[in-house]
Chains A and B, each alone.
Chain A
């Protein structure tokens, strides 16, 4: 059924973005000490990621999710008014 496909696509998108989120939040942060050896905009990289970089990526994840969901809803004619 077409709507099952909508859900499957939603789920795939959700889990894909969650994997990115886990990577940014937990994997990169685990190596913060090592990342601090590099620098970005004058900040040590590990510090920068936790203070700004990751937050901006979080915002981008939500933005992308909303955009994709709008497209999926248009594609499957789903309208939640």
Chain B
């Protein structure tokens, strides 16, 4: 249908042009005195109503449209939709910040999140499309047979996707509360509405076409500020090309800065502070009562002399805020100790890879590669991404669309490291070694919400690098202000972050919904139910899951961001071995796959749990924490999960009866090793 294809492209070109005009109009209005708050509102209302219009236009009551967009999405647009589906709030807001803070070590995310698409292209996408059903559990159940494996797959898909969707909605809350100054909880429910207008009426069809629209906004919003920054620093507006020379300048500044006497002194003071806390923690509970007595003594002393009332009140407050018991003191002081120790650590050159010596450098290499491994395998196993390759018209287009997906994703991931380097350059030139009283206004503004913190520990009135600490999120959110751009750019960034979070949430929500309604309800409980009723079930599930996710997000769970990193290990351990061996190894059997999925998942969860948690309070268990294996961190638990998954499937398969004739036929169709009679 070449006619409709060009029509689609014309629509989206028109839409992109319209969006750029809209931004330009706002820039003009800002010049004429439109207040920032209104600009924020305009972006929020304009983009969400755009998504709503697309959602309503694509409403459907057809099962195939609802689950796989009627399998009519051309490769190019499926690539864009996958890009938006894939790039979450964490990629958009967090990645550049992580790269700023950890330099080379952060590139594990860039490598992992792009390298995974090679696995998708070579090992999975064409075969999933040739199989051509609706979900990933569908595929596993058809290959291995039986409902047990379907249930395990549904469980793993929901486990990996639910935390992820909560994190997206949380991201929406953060963005709306910061840029439009809505209350966080209200922001969360605005986000919920934004998600539901797309997915509820039109399922995958509507989600696909809104994701394309969201991709356009997010990529414009991501590249614009750093292009402006690049233009002002180097005179070249293509940051990806020129940041090599800026990186060199950053390195020269680092050489001068890192060993300057003031920096060394500030770091020494932090070291002393960390040691002090360590001492106090060791001497618990005596150190706590001692501190309380000392404060009491000083208060009494002040009261006896005629000191100012406000000094006494301050000291009394300090005494009130002391930890109540030794346990609380340990927690608080440990946090303070780690914070101080972090600032005391000698800084690392931005481009330096694995800077540690001997043992430490070895652990850094191992962890870097382990993280890359988990992220790649997780990318190739997260159901919401794999599902997208069911939506193309044929196998060839599925393959082509992985190419487009990676291309569109690359645009952002190649820009992120440039983002980090340019912001570092700005920070080194405009913040460090500047008198604290003369710091730019954005520092104070972002300090207020706790994303930036400065402390003049050596009391010289000048900011040292060690005295500045930045939350990773602030890098992308505050860049427009850092570079002195008009507020309309900030609004654009907020709209981009919103698009990234909403598009990913849409895809995830649909995955959970189809797992529950299609796999569990239709395939297991009521295969005889009518298509109309299946859609009713899907839509009500969607509503329930969405409201549940928003409710969890509104509680502001603090650990949510680290939990997202675990989703990759969980999905990779559960799905990757069973999917790949299912396609490439005839001998893989049902008991083998079932055992492999369960064992792989169990190992990953066990490892995460034993590394991260010491006990379960409500079960009264404690002392569970263990030493990591080969010094691998919990975010890379998938290394062990995937490995045991593969080994278990192979061993158990070899010890069980070879697969039946139907599996042979299934694989022949999948690999096209024999002509299909029914085709």
Contact = CB atoms under 8 A, between A and B. Distances in A.
A32 B114 contact: no
Contacts of A73: 396
Interface string B117-139: 11101110010001000000000
Interface in B536-553: none
B115 A59 contact: no
A80 B130 contact: yes
Contacts of B407: 59
Given A3-B674, A3-B675, A30-B365, A59 B410 contact: yes
Contacts of A6: 672-673
B233 interface: no
Contact of B673 (A1, A25, A33): A1
B118 A58 contact: yes
Contacts of A62: 117-118, 121-122, 402-403, 406
B244 interface: yes
B interface SS class: helix
A9 to B, nearest CB: 11
B253 to A, nearest CB: 16
A80 B396 contact: yes
B353 A47 contact: yes
Contacts of A52: 240, 414, 417
A7 to B, nearest CB: 5
Given A29-B369, A29-B372, A62-B117, A42 B673 contact: no
B353 to A, nearest CB: 4
A55 B673 contact: no
B86 interface: no
Contact of A36 (B108, B111, B241, B352): B352
B400 interface: yes
A66 B240 contact: no
A26 B121 contact: no
Interface in B92-116: 104, 107-108, 110-111, 114-115
A66 B410 CA distance: 18
Contacts, number: 130
A69 B126 contact: yes
Nearest to A69: B399
A62 B122 CA distance: 8
A28 to B, nearest CB: 10
A55 B413 contact: yes
Given A30-B365, A33-B361, A78 B353 contact: no
A55 B368 CA distance: 17
A21 B115 contact: yes
B376 A44 contact: no
B247 interface: yes
B244 to A, nearest CB: 3
Interface in A45-59: 46-48, 50-52, 54-56, 58-59
A44 B122 contact: no
A42 B247 contact: yes
Nearest to A77: B675
Contact of A32 (B241, B354, B406): B354
A56 B413 CA distance: 11
B248 interface: yes
Given A1-B673, A10-B671, A36-B352, A51 B122 contact: no
B417 A51 contact: yes
B581 interface: no
B395 interface: yes
Size bracket of the A interface: 35 or more
Interface in B491-535: none
A80 B114 CA distance: 28
Nearest to A63: B403
Contact of A26 (B130, B352, B369, B403): B369
Contacts of B406: 58-59, 62
Contact of B403 (A7, A51, A66): A66
B245 interface: yes
A75 interface: no
A25 B403 CA distance: 18
A32 B104 contact: yes
A54 B244 CA distance: 16
B457 to A, nearest CB: 31
Nearest to A14: B122
B351 interface: yes
A10 B395 CA distance: 14
Nearest to A76: B672
Contact of B110 (A44, A51, A66): A51
B414 A51 contact: yes
Contacts of B121: 61-62, 65-66
A52 to B, nearest CB: 6
B584 interface: yes
Interface in A3-33: 3-4, 6-7, 10-11, 14, 17-18, 21, 25-26, 29-30, 32-33
A43 interface: yes
Contacts of A70: 396
A80 B365 contact: no
Given A11-B584, A14-B123, A61-B118, A29 B672 contact: no
B245 A42 contact: yes
27 contacts: A3-B673, A7-B671, A18-B118, A21-B115, A21-B118, A21-B119, A21-B122, A25-B115, A29-B368, A32-B353, A35-B353, A41-B244, A47-B353, A50-B104, A51-B417, A52-B240, A55-B410, A55-B413, A55-B414, A56-B410, A58-B118, A62-B403, A66-B400, A69-B396, A76-B672, A78-B672, A80-B130
Ranked 4 nearest A-B pairs via Cβ? A42-B244, A32-B353, A50-B107, A80-B395
